[in-house]
Amino acid sequence: MPLVGKKAPSFSAQAVVNGGEFVENFSLDQYIGKKHVIFFFYPKDFTFVCPTELHAFQDQIAEFEKRNVAVVACSTDTEQSHWGWLQVPKAQGGIQGVKYPIVADTTKTISMDFDVLFGEYDVNDDGALVANGPMIAFRGLYLIDKKGIVRHQLINDLPLGRNVDEAIRIVDALQFNEENGEVCPANWSKGKDAMKDNHADTAKYLAKH
């Protein structure tokens, strides 16, 4: 089910921050009242598409920080796996240089709560618990506001990498709406004209039709 308009699921998990520091009980709750959050999932460490995404977010981290946005990544790998991948140079397929937090969803409950887990658990005829699917995360991305509410979500299949510039654009759109009360039409980008919110008039029209 879509999470847009709902409180982002809360969690506390191991994470690696600043390119190699282990943190216990990492939670997005620390940003409530302080920052917007881009929280994104990727399938697996030590793969091919994933490092391009993680580096792309790091390359634009100054743009997110300028907007007071925290970037946080997550996969179902362990924190030790995250740490090991962070030690490998980019030229060798690693993510050395990535500084934002990477959460270890080893129990897969975070992926389940955000509805991006590829697969599900079932019970076979012998009563044994089995996994139907690879049990890794799809490429989910969530924009969470300062109240902890999900305002945007995007979920890609495993082969489809995301556009970081679009993530920045959607942050700009949300912050523009919060600051000005106007809504952002199709293909809106920062600096373009927006529209006045005629939600009340629209609601009256829909009620009559």
- For residue 172, pLDDT over 80 is answered with yes
CA distance 57 to 75: 15
Fold of 13-161: Glutaredoxin (3.40.30)
Q: What is the DSSP string of 7-37?
A: BPPP--EEEEETTTEEEEEE-GGGGTTT-EE
The pLDDT, as a whole number, for residue 125 is 87
The pLDDT, as a whole number, for residue 199 is 56
Compute the Cα dihedral for 65, 70, 74, 78 and give only its sign.
Answer: positive
- For residue 118, pLDDT over 90 is answered with yes
Burial of 24 (0-12, 13-18, 19+ CB in 10 A): exposed
The structural domains of the chain, with segments of one domain joined by +, span 13-161
β-strand partners of 102? 16, 73
Tokens of 112: 């389940």
CA distance 53 to 65: 18
Per-residue pLDDT of 28-73, as tens digits, reads: 999 999 999 999 999 999 999 999 999 999 999 999 999 999 999 9
Residues sharing a CB contact under 8 Å with residue 195, sequence separation 6 or more, in sequence order: 182, 183, 184, 185
- For residue 206, pLDDT over 60 is answered with no
Q: State the pLDDT confidence band at 173, using cuts at 50, 70 and 90.
A: very high
- For residue 168, pLDDT over 60 is answered with yes
CA distance 47 to 49: 6
- Active-site annotation holds for 184: no
Residue 58, φ and ψ in degrees, nearest 5: -65, -40
The pLDDT, as a whole number, for residue 47 is 95
Please answer whether residues 113 and 27 qualify as being in contact, where contact means their C-beta atoms are separated by less than 8 angstroms. no
The pLDDT, as a whole number, for residue 106 is 97
β-strand partners of 182? none
Among 16, 50, 72, 103, which one carries the catalytic annotation? 50
Q: State the pLDDT confidence band at 192, using cuts at 50, 70 and 90.
A: low
Q: What is the enclosing helix (H) or strand (E) of 112?
A: helix 109-113
The pLDDT, as a whole number, for residue 35 is 98
Q: Average pLDDT in the 86-105 region?
A: 97
Q: Percentage of the chain with pLDDT > 70?
A: 94
Other C-beta atoms within 10 Å of 53: how many?
21
